[in-house]
Chain A
Amino acid sequence: MTSSTPANAPLAFDRPVANATSQKMAGKLMIAAGSIIFVATLAFQILYASGVIESGFDTWLPVLYAYALWAASIIFGQVLVRGERGSRATFVLPAVFFTVALVVFPTIFGFYIAFTSWNLSSDAGRVFNGWDNLRALWNDPFFWNALGNMLYYGLMVLVEYAVAFGLAMILNSEIRARRFFRIVFLLPFMLSPVAVSWMVGKSIMENRFGPMARLARLLGWERPAFFSDPWIARLSIEVMDAWVFIPLMIILLLAGLQALPKEVLEASKVDGATPWQAFWRIIFPLMLPVSITTIIIRIIFKLKLADIVINVTAGGPGGATDTVSSFIYREYRDRSNVGYGTALAEFYLIAIIIFITVLLIAGRRLARRYGALPAVAES
């Protein structure tokens, strides 16, 4: 990472720092030493692990330490070499090294595992099997079923959005005890989905004694069962997940509503527009960028949905409530099928990246076309 010419930079002030040649040398030496130690430790451990040499470390932990040392030597060394510009890079370099070690490397490693047949409970170990996992994925009805469920859960985000928008509008209007309601509306977001699984899924929605079942019987549903029929089960899971995440959407939309220009809203009142017209002609279009951000963030969280499904239905009945994450989780947990499970996960990751990218581009276009409202604002 190098700092480019700071000509039009916000903090463009280079002080003439006389970087002594000896200091530069020390920096370069530091980086070289760190690199040598890291490469040597790595090579040593690889040789030991592959049985070429006899002695070595029991675990790979020393390699991680060597990596940390290497990262530190580069961060400090480049300050000595490059002075002021090096100092600036120290801000972002720790996060870069951290991310490379814990996100980039494991992801690449995951793609490697995805092309192996590897079951932790069998002795065969890791065997490269090319595209076999992908072929199996193609013919796995349970995976496609889970992916289909994700489509349903994803579409339900629009319903959650409508509810959250309505509540955000109410919280933004002139009401008493606003702070109280804001705190109360936030609370579900603070709760652990696992606890919610029990609190709502296993006790409030319990078929015999749960308050929901009692209410259902009162309303004439004789034998209420929230997790037996596929569609009702799907809806029950969705209700719980919505309960946890609607507060997040309310907060985002409320912040957007509060940032709306007051003059435009005043002007619409003077014009005599009905509240309904004012909403559709002014508030909704002005809120479009925030709405799109909110929906995309919510979809990102929705695509990770797993905890509630794992703990309440374990994907049942018959895979009706399964999400991709909960399905893969069972593949690991119950069948120890590491190779195939990872192949599914990596496939899902690529699908998500494509989907979110399309969503971001579409969202940006939509916001640009309908988001700005000069005509209405002037009238």
Chain B
Amino acid sequence: MTSYTSTLDSTPVHHGSRRAAFMATRVLIYGVLIFWAFICLFPIYWTFTTALKEAPDVMQGHLVPLVDFTPSWKGLRSLGLSPDTIFETSTVREEFLKRFTNSLWASLGGSFLALALGSLAGYGLARFPYRFGPMKNDDIGFFFISQLILPPVVLAMPFLVLYKELALLDSLPGLILVYTLMVLPIVIWIMRDQFHTIPVELEEAAFVDGLSIWGTFLRIVLPIALPGMVAAFILALVLSWNEYFFAALLTGANVQTLPVMVASQTGSQGISWWSMAALSAAAILPLIIVGILLERYIVQGLSTGAVK
């Protein structure tokens, strides 16, 4: 309803009261915007500042560093990342970096594999008429996309048992495979719609010029579809970086990921808020940066799949 208010002030009748109403809606709109921005940002702000607090600052509820309290390196020191510990050997830092790299490789690996499989399938489904028994393209597409509803809990147990037999338990390839299957439905959904938006004429021309189907795909179609692929990739990355359920059940000491590390610390209530805050901050910081820099791609990826 707000999109109309802006034109109301141009109508000549009752100019004064219209003007007042216009101002009132403006105030309301910006009030809501600022309120919601506060709700979105406060927990993040709280986490980053708490990482710089000492116990009394936490208990007295200080909020603003340098004004309310003197920042301390205690939180970062607990991860071995403070200025005075960063050049020394530190077992906590090694532990943290190991979890961090595990998360990184598992989410990057899973997203790349899903992007490769999903782009191919998405292109095939968007362009070629398939038939598999009674299933045609729409049914095959639905078969893939419907896996979105599978809750992790349904696959977790069979995977635990199968991975034990396959010696993939607590291994990076095992985790990568799980993350691939988890994000594959979304990637196929996004990529199929992306390829639908590319005009067929380009490919027909390339085909007439003598390129093979694969040549056309790799040299003509892929470069055009690149923004869509980035969108799908980023989304897959976000989902697998944050994944907890599978990681908690299928990994042990070897390839535990960052969310599992965060979760295992919350259980032991030592009220070392600064170290928990530092750890949480480190877990969310990469994706906050990704979100700020690549917001456009994330929005594009999410909206192509769902809104035609």
Q: Chain A residues in contact with chain B, CB under 8 A?
A: 1-4, 6, 9-11, 13, 58-61, 64, 84, 87-92, 94-96, 98-99, 102-103, 106-107, 109-110, 113, 166-167, 169-170, 172-175, 179, 181-200, 202-204, 208-209, 211, 214, 243, 247-248, 251-252, 254-256, 259, 265, 269, 275-276, 278-279, 283, 290, 293-294, 297, 300, 303-304, 306-307, 310-311, 324-325, 328-329, 332-333, 338, 341-342, 345-346, 348-349, 352-353, 356
With A103-B147, A349-B151, A352-B151 in contact, is A187–B2 under 8 Å at CB? Answer: no
With A84-B213, A325-B245 in contact, is A197–B263 under 8 Å at CB? Answer: yes
B-side interface mostly: helix
Q: Are B58 and A252 in contact, with the CB atoms below 8 A?
A: no
Chain B interface size, as a band, is 35 or more
- Can you sample 19 A-B contacts with CB below 8 Å? A2-B130, A3-B129, A173-B2, A173-B29, A174-B3, A186-B295, A194-B262, A198-B262, A200-B43, A203-B47, A247-B40, A275-B5, A300-B148, A300-B149, A304-B152, A306-B151, A324-B151, A341-B157, A345-B153
Which interface residue of B41, B118, B162 has the most chain A CB atoms within 10 A?
Answer: B162
Residues in B277-299 with C-beta less than 8 Å from chain A: 277, 280, 283-284, 287-288, 290-292, 295, 298-299
Measured between alpha carbons, how far is A203 from B242 in the docked complex, in Å? 19
Extra pairs beyond A192-B244, A306-B153 (18, CB < 8 Å) = A96-B121, A98-B181, A102-B181, A103-B181, A107-B154, A109-B158, A172-B3, A173-B2, A175-B30, A182-B295, A183-B292, A187-B288, A190-B288, A196-B43, A279-B1, A328-B153, A329-B153, A342-B157
Shortest Cβ distance from B208 into chain A, in angstroms? 8
A-side interface mostly: helix
Measured between alpha carbons, how far is A83 from B94 in the docked complex, in Å? 53
With a cutoff of 8 Å between Cβ atoms, the chain A residues found around residue B238 in the complex are 189-190
Measured between alpha carbons, how far is A149 from B167 in the docked complex, in Å? 37
Q: How would residues 253 to 289 of chain B score, 1 for a CB under 8 Å from any chain A CB and 0 otherwise? A: 0000011101101100000010011001001100110
Shortest Cβ distance from A102 into chain B, in angstroms? 5
Smallest CB gap from B283: residue in A: A195
Q: Are A243 and B39 in contact, with the CB atoms below 8 A?
A: yes
For residue B127, CB closer than 8 A to chain A, the reply is yes
For residue B131, CB closer than 8 A to chain A, the reply is yes
Smallest CB gap from A244: residue in B: B242
Among the listed B61, B157, B245, which residue makes an inter-chain contact with A113, where contact means beta carbons less than 8 Å apart?
B157
With a cutoff of 8 Å between Cβ atoms, the chain A residues found around residue B140 in the complex are 92
With a cutoff of 8 Å between Cβ atoms, the chain A residues found around residue B280 in the complex are 195, 198-199
